[in-house]
Amino acid sequence: MPENNNGDVCVSDPNAYTVVVVDKTGTVRFRYDGRPARRMKKFYPRDIVADAFNQIIFTDCNNDCLHILDQNGQFLRCVSGCGLEKPVGLSVDSEGRLWVGCDRVEIKVIKYLEQS
């Protein structure tokens, strides 16, 4: 279970088609059901990672994309159209790259942070 810098724990519940984030005391901070992204198929969250900026990133293997939220559950963007096929594994490195494992035994590296 990923934990962001402020100690929140982020879990995916594919059976309920939702992501749940709880604080250090176990109190639910927010739930995310994929609606802001408006994808074609039912939201199906799998792996989750939190980055150094407290962004919460998770795979949506039904829609072949990644969802990115801020630490308060605000939808930031959806990453798609980069050849993801059933993303099921996820990691982030210190250089701001996402390592995404896909169902067909393939790994994609995605630069997701914008340079300013």
> pLDDT digit string (tens) for 10-57?
899 888 999 999 998 999 999 999 988 888 898 999 899 988 888 999
pTM: 0.84
What is the predicted pLDDT for the residue at 5?
63
Distances (CA, A) of 15 to 46, 54, 82: 10, 25, 27
Write the burial class of residue 63 (CB in 10 Å: 0-12 exposed, 13-18 middle, 19+ buried): buried
The percentage of residues in the chain with a pLDDT greater than 70, rounded to a whole number, is 92
Least confident of 28-37, 84-93, 96-105: 96-105
Q: What is the pLDDT of residue 37?
A: 80
- Domains, the chain: 9-111 (2.120.10.30)
Q: Please, which pLDDT band fits residue 75 given cuts at 50, 70 and 90?
A: very high
Whether residue 62 has pLDDT greater than 80: yes
